[in-house]
Amino acid sequence: MSFSSLQYKLRRKVANNLYLLSDFLKDPKGYLKKKEDISRGIDADLLDKLRSLTKTIEFETIIDIGANIGNFTKTVRKIFPEAKYYCFEPNSEITEAIEDVPGIKLYHFALGNVNDKVSFKKSSHHPSSSFLQILKVNKTHSDAGRSVSIDVPIRRLDDVFNKCDILSPILLKMDVEGFELEVIKGGEETISLAKIVIIETSFEEIFEGQPLFADILNTMMKLGFKYYGNIDMLFPDDSGWFLQENSVFKR
């Protein structure tokens, strides 16, 4: 692990511990509840950032594209428990936490710009699974480069929702490991209905042929969104530069 990566991890650990200590001093009962939430897969740091980001909007619909093990959906449900959730995750082996949950509609297929079956690289580090070949493996997740190819169904987001009335306002999150532009192309009408879109974007090529932050920014601006900063910076490389962020776009 590089020195810069180690510094980043230590800063995050110290910040999280101070954050929890501050909560304990202000509200011991609230602190215990937060510890319980963390044990159930809820991201306490993300929860606070989302509360700040969405404090003036009462979202009716949450669309989670690349739901993985369901942590984003579980976290957002702490803020909007009555919203309707639509989660998309092609790897059915990792979605137990959001299976058969009232209010959550789970789709075990991927999203893109075609309705077909496509070869999908299922990584040993499941958050790194992608349709694209991985080029840069973070040292913290050295197993990310090990994968097996499986065929998964893929559909266009607009075709999924073309006969479905989804309530506004809509919060949409996308974490698809380099496949962002294909998802956007196949879902322009649906994505354009969203009030806030959160997309994991990259500043360097991690997957072969993937779009970078500037490509995503230009595409989202054409759909009428403005860049609103980020809710997290991810994975510093050996030089200390961050490789990715969770970018926020608002209408």
Least confident range from 49-53, 73-77, 148-152, 197-201: namely: 148-152
> Would the pLDDT of 144 be above 70?
no
| pLDDT value of position 117 | 95
Ranking 67-81, 89-103, 115-129, 162-176 by mean pLDDT, the lowest is: 115-129
Per-residue confidence (pLDDT) for residue 215, from 0 to 100: 97
* Residue 168 or 6, more confident: 168
User: pLDDT-based confidence at 133, cuts 50/70/90?
Assistant: confident
pLDDT value, residue 146: 65
**Quick one: what percent of the chain has pLDDT higher than 70?**
76
> What's the pTM value of the predicted model, to 2 decimals?
0.81
**50 or 21, which is more confident:** 50
- pLDDT, tens digit, 9 for 90 and up, residues 178-212: 999 999 999 999 999 999 999 999 999 988 999 99
For all residues of the chain together, what is the average pLDDT?
84
Q: What is the pLDDT of residue 1?
A: 46
| More confident call, 31 vs 56 | 56
Q: Give mean pLDDT, residues 101-107.
A: 96
Domains of the chain are: 40-111+156-250 (3.40.50.150)
200 vs 14, higher pLDDT: 200
Q: What is the 3-state secondary structure (H, E, C) of the chain?
A: CCHHHHHHHHHHHHHHHHHHHHHHHHCHHHHHHHHHHHHCCCCHHHHHHHHHHCCCCCCCEEEEECCCCCHHHHHHCCCCCCCEEEEECCCHHHCHHHCCCCCEEEECCEEECCCEEEEEEEECCHHHCECCCECCCCHHHHHHHCEEEEEEEEEEHHHHCCCCCCCCCEEEEECCCCCHHHHHHCCHHHHCCCCEEEEEEECCCCECCCCCHHHHHHHHHHCCCEEEEEEEEEEECCCCCEEEEEEEEEC
pLDDT band for 104, please (50, 70, 90 cuts): very high
Highest mean pLDDT among 30-44, 56-70, 235-249: 56-70
CA 148 to each of CA 68, 124, 131, 151: distance values in angstroms, whole numbers, following the listed order: 17, 8, 11, 10
